[in-house]
Amino acid sequence: MARKSLWAGAILLVIALFAGSAWWLLTPRWVYQVSVEGSPVGMVKNLEEYKQIIEEIQTRAEERWDCELVMNEEITATRVRMWSPQLSPASVRAGIETAATYKTKGWAIVINGDTVAIVDREQTAKDILEAVKAQYLSQDKNCSLVSVDLQEAVSIESTAVTPDVLMDKEAVLATLVCGQEEIKSYVVKRGDTLSGISRSHSVLVDTLRDANAIEGDAIHVGQVLSLQTSKALLHV
């Protein structure tokens, strides 16, 4: 009798398992389909899981670029009812990270209408311009400048940019003070000398020699010389 009871219990357990499996397979479930710009990348079980994935991706991106970011793509989670849905949070995470691009708020230093550098904060841009002016302040304790004004029209403007264009303070300051390298060419004329070309174009003789593989001072009429110069972007 006991053995029959055991068999009956086992049979009922198997029936229950099959019934549960059948219910799982045959009963539709509510899940969330995640899409990037309208293209599905996977499904998650609820909105909490979706939000957690988005937050993790956003946090990693901001830690990488060290600034606040806004994702360019539209990410949506749509509630759908499906039979035997294949949940794939890993695919959702990978799909979003692969497609995601970002923009951030940058501050452009604009000189005479041209953007020459973009930094991450307005105060950083102001500090850079003050540092440029400070290069010209007298170090003599017996005299001081009342004010230093820039000759160029300079403004600081907010702009939406990709984070990879942001420059650090030291690099921008070096560009403004030391200038950007310009490469021009000059055709040697009758009567020209290397030293004369050096003076007229404000290029060191040694720089001319190195840029044009010249030994000594020998140049000839018609020879094309490369002139490498640095042009300061700001003057006081």
Reported as a single tens digit per residue, the pLDDT across 84-122 is: 899 999 999 999 999 999 999 999 999 888 888 999 999
Residue 7 lies in a domain: no
**Max alpha carbon distance in the chain (Å)?**
125
Q: Where are the beta strands (DSSP E) in the chain?
A: 29-36, 39-44, 70-71, 75-82, 102-111, 114-119, 154-161, 180-187, 224-231
The winner for highest mean pLDDT among 86-100, 128-142, 166-180 is: 86-100
Q: Are 102 and 69 in contact (CB under 8 A)?
A: yes
Instruction: Report the distance separating Cα 34 and Cα 120, nearest Å.
Output: 32
The pLDDT of residue 207:
81
Q: How confident is the model at residue 140 (pLDDT cuts 50, 70, 90)?
A: very low
| % of the chain at pLDDT higher than 90 | 44
The pLDDT of residue 31:
96
Secondary structure class of 144 (helix, strand, coil): coil
Which of 92-101, 116-125, 133-142, 172-181 bottoms out in mean pLDDT, i.e. has the lowest?
Answer: 133-142
Is pLDDT at 12 greater than 80 in this prediction?
no
Domain shared by 38 and 96, yes or no: yes
Q: How confident is the model at residue 174 (pLDDT cuts 50, 70, 90)?
A: confident
Residue 57 lies in a domain: yes
Residue 5 lies in a domain: no
**What does the pLDDT average to over 5-10?**
54
Looking at 141, 161, 178, the residue that finishes a domain is 178
The pLDDT of residue 84:
86
**What does the pLDDT average to over 26-47?**
93
| % of the chain at pLDDT higher than 70 | 77
Looking at 100, 128, 160, the residue that finishes a domain is 100
The winner for highest mean pLDDT among 26-35, 91-100, 185-194, 218-227 is: 91-100
**What does the pLDDT average to over 30-38?**
96
**What does the pLDDT average to over 113-132?**
91
Choice between 99 and 149, residue whose per-residue pLDDT is larger:
99
Domain shared by 42 and 67, yes or no: yes
The pLDDT of residue 18:
52
Looking at the structure of the chain, the number of domains it has is 3
The pLDDT of residue 185:
81
Q: Are 93 and 51 in contact (CB under 8 A)?
A: no
Domain shared by 109 and 64, yes or no: no
The pLDDT of residue 132:
85
DSSP 93-119: HHHHHHH--EEEEEEEEEETTEEEEEE
Looking at 34, 67, 100, the residue that finishes a domain is 100
Q: Residue 93's domain spans which residues?
A: 26-100
